Amino acid sequence: MTRSAAAKASEAADAVLAWLRDQAPRARPAESRVPGPSPSAAPDGGAISAAVPEGPPGDGAEAEAAMAEVAPDGAVSDLSWPAPASNTDLTIGAPEGLDRSAAPLRLAHTDWLHHHLAITGPAPAVAAFREAAAGAGLIPWPLDGTRLEEDCFYRLVAPPAPQRRTLSLAGARLLARQLRDAARRRHDLARGLVGRSRACPFDLHALIPVRDDVLALGRDDPAALAWLWTHWGTTEALRHVAEDTATEPDPRRPLADGEAAFRLTFWSADWTPWRALATLAARWPALRFTVRPTYDA
């Protein structure tokens, strides 16, 4: 009975937190939306990502950043991002000339974009990367319980029209406190997995960790968002990361003797995590990183 009650409380907390985010949409940035799945069809978030309501975005300024694609023969061809809205492969090489001064591009309503990622190269290097990439799959942000409780309380006592308040002030305060406690329990359990769990096969926080001083700012702080945009190219942890065992290898790119492939699928917020991939390509020069957004997923 205790476990059932705790599960129901967590489900209620999830529903109310999602509702809170929907009631207070952020201003839409200046850039146009990237083709992708409808926000209503976005995958469910992890425990930590849903624990705090969305906050204000960065300044939303448009920006362009260049990446360099290193071809097998060593020639370098410039690519601009975002990529065209087509299901084309993008092989990422060293981040030469990468512009890291751009403001974070974060859409008002997150588009979760589906991707296929293939990491190929010498078998020992692929095995070493696979070992380094596994982690909990989340960003261990702190939880502002006071803010969460107040947000819940004010939404419960003053719901937007045409909804009507059905709780007394005392009842709204009690429910807000219970939701805060349920969210905090789930949040603490999730943070405890960081550094211990290896459930996520491609964890950006394990590969390019968010610094402690950035974590302390909170997940909606403009400086924290700028750090994620600068180092990852996306402002959320990847979701639904899984090893891809169903996709057939590309016959145009057969593996050489002694090579191996590590294939993954994941969803990323608003953009392909191209800055992270460019950094990883520079750190692991023996490996090739080929990412393919599937906008029609």
pLDDT digits (tens, 9 = 90+) for 99-128: 444 456 677 788 899 999 999 999 999 999
- Please compute the mean of the pLDDT values over residues 205-221 and round it to a whole number: 93
Decide: 63 and 230 in contact? Cβ < 8 Å: no
What pLDDT is attached to residue 9? 56
Higher-scoring residue by pLDDT: 57, 224: 224
| Residue 129, domain extent | 2-293
Q: What average pLDDT does the chain have?
A: 73
Tell me which of 92-96, 202-206, 215-219, 223-227 is least confident.
92-96
Please, which residues have CB within 8 angstroms of residue 275's CB and are 6 or more apart in sequence? Answer: 65, 95, 98, 100, 229, 230, 231, 232, 233
Q: Is the pLDDT of residue 20 over 60?
A: no
How many structural domains compose the chain? 1
Q: Give the Cα separation of 133 and 137 in Å (integer).
A: 10
- Please compute the mean of the pLDDT values over residues 37-45 and round it to a whole number: 38
Task: Return the percentage of the chain with pLDDT > 70, whole number.
Answer: 64
For residue range 266-275, what is the model confidence (pLDDT) as tens digits? 999 999 999 9
What pLDDT is attached to residue 63? 30
Decide: 295 and 87 in contact? Cβ < 8 Å: yes
* CA angle in degrees (0–180, nearest 5) for 232-186-269: 25
Decide: 34 and 271 in contact? Cβ < 8 Å: yes
Higher-scoring residue by pLDDT: 103, 239: 239
pLDDT band of residue 6 (cuts 50, 70, 90) is low
- Please compute the mean of the pLDDT values over residues 143-163 and round it to a whole number: 90
- Please compute the mean of the pLDDT values over residues 126-149 and round it to a whole number: 93
